[in-house]
Amino acid sequence: MLKEIRAYYQEVVETTISSKNDVFVFKKRFFSKQGVLNSLFSRFKKISKEEKKLVGKDINLLKDLCQKKINSFSLSLVSNKNTVEDLTRPSPTFTGSKHPITKISGQINEIFKSLGFYVSSGPEIEDDWHNFEALNLPKNHPARDMQDTFFVNVNPDFLLRTHTSSVQVRHMSGNKPPIRTISPGRVFRNEAVSSRAHCIFHQIEGLYVDKNVSFTDMKNLLFVFAKKFFGNDVSLRFRPSYFPFTEPSAEMDVFLGTQTEADYRLTKGSGWLEILGCGMVDPNVLSNCNINPKTYSGYAFGMGVERIAMLKYGVKDLRLFFENDLSFLKQFN
């Protein structure tokens, strides 16, 4: 069979298709019911396993070649102005470019992937359990005010996720440690839109759960990340903080300085800008996700992509990322 396939391959290579009639004849010979490919595939079903291994790839190569032969004729029709254009054809050149938020997100993801993390994702419309309750935020808990929420009208139990920690709850509930994942995605908060805040933004949250995971491990990881992203001479600091789902909790700041008025305003006069929240996963959260907190511990962190993009590119107003003004976007090409 192998010899036969190679002979057909040669035949296709030598065939020239220069008219619609040629296409018709070619399709009939190779793609029709009684055609070459069909008969090869039905014979393929009957041969032994060992032979299949040898032959399978070659049949598919032959099929691809036949398809390419037809495609390249269609393309030549398009470039010949006297013939009708195929308007459904995908553009041969791609003139768009990536949005700065997509770029920064990609760079952050790549750094964490190089440190052994894999990407997980989840729904943007969440239920109360995954967004709040499992994370130690029972109904009426005052800390829910930290993340003003958009509820889905038809059912108050559903909401637009306020952070991608919800993905971590889903991931922990469905997987056994060791877990080492990042969850990038869009999140929504019912906040007044200003130069520092928006009702939609992007987050990347990370989670590591295993035996004997320590706060020091987390701090090292986040320092390595920040140095890779901002450069070796970046100044960083860790501050104690509070999140209901981590204990102890901290925030990491990057030093911007106060030389310009914009930096002064952005850092509220201190020179430091907060870029992420983090902490050791609260044992209650692990139990809520069916992970035994006596055996396992973990850390989690979360950062806002817009905030980091503002820092990296020196953009002083977060709203610019959402306006799709081409003169703004072109600067990042």
The residue ranges that bind ligand PHE (CB under 6 A) are 163, 165, 205, 243, 246, 249, 277-279, 300-302
CB of 206 to ligand PHE, least distance (A): 8
Residue with CB nearest ligand PHE? 302
Residue nearer to ligand PHE on the CB measure, 163 or 171: 163
Which residue's CB is nearer to ligand PHE, number 69 or number 161?
Answer: 161
**Shortest Cβ distance from residue 135 to ligand PHE (Å)?**
8
Closest distance to ligand PHE from the beta carbon of 226 (Å): 16
CB of 303 to ligand PHE, least distance (A): 8
C-beta of 100 vs 206, nearer to ligand PHE: 206
Is the Cβ–Cβ distance between 12 and 55 less than 8 Å? no
- Cβ closest to ligand PHE, residue 256 vs residue 300: 300
Nearest-approach distance from CB 262 to ligand PHE, in angstroms: 24
Exposed / middle / buried, residue 118 (Cβ in 10 Å: 0-12, 13-18, 19+): exposed
SS (H, E, C) the chain: CHHHHHHHHHHHHHCCCCCHHHHHHHHHHHHCCCCHHHHHHHHHHHCCHHHHHHHHHHHHHHHHHHHHHHHHHHHHHHHCCCCCCCCCCCCCCCCCCCCHHHHHHHHHHHHHHHCCCEECCCCCEEEHHHHCHHHCCCCCCHHHHHCCCCECCCCCCEEECCCCHHHHHHHHHHCCCCEEEEEEEEEECCCCCCCCCCCEEEEEEEEEEECCCCHHHHHHHHHHHHHHHHCCCCCEEEEEEEECCEEEEEEEEEECCCCCHHHHHHCCCCCEEEEEEEEEECHHHHHHCCCCCCCCEEEEEEEEHHHHHHHHHCCCCHHHHHCCCHHHHHHHC
Minimum Å gap between C-beta 143 and ligand PHE is 11
* Closer residue to ligand PHE, CB minimum distance, 101 or 300: 300
- Residue closer to ligand PHE by CB (options 162, 267) is 162
Nearer to ligand PHE (CB atom), residue 205 or residue 253 = 205
Closest contact distance (angstroms) between CB of 163 and ligand PHE is 3
